[in-house]
Structure 1
Amino acid sequence: MKEVLEEIETRIKRLEAEIELIEERLKFLDRVGATSKYQILQRRTKTGELYIMFFVIWGFMGLTLLLYLKYKYSEILPFSLTPYIGAMMAFIIIPFLYYFFLSKQSEPENPINYLEKKERMARLALNRFYIPLKEALKHEKLKEIANRLLQGEVADAITELNEGDPKVMAYALYLYLNRDSVRPSEINEVVTLLKNKPLKKLLLTISEEKVSSPHT
Structure 2
Amino acid sequence: MQVAIVKYNAGNIYSVVNALKRLGIEPTLTDDAELLMKADKVLFPGQGHAGEAMDYLRARKLDLLIRDLKQPVFGICVGQQLLCRHSEEGDTECIGIFDAEVKRFQPQRHEDKVPCMGWQEISLPQPLQKEGGVNPLYKGILSPLSLEGSGEAPYVYFVHSYYVPVCNETIATADYILPYSASMHKDNFYTCQFHPEKSGKVGEQIIKNFIDL
Query: TM-score if structure 2 supplies the norm length?
Result: 0.26
Higher strand share: 2
Structure of higher RCO (CA pairs closer than 8 Å, 6+ residues apart): 1
Q: More helix by proportion, 1 or 2? A: 1
Q: Normalising to structure 1: TM-score of the pair?
A: 0.26
- Bigger radius of gyration, 1 or 2? 1
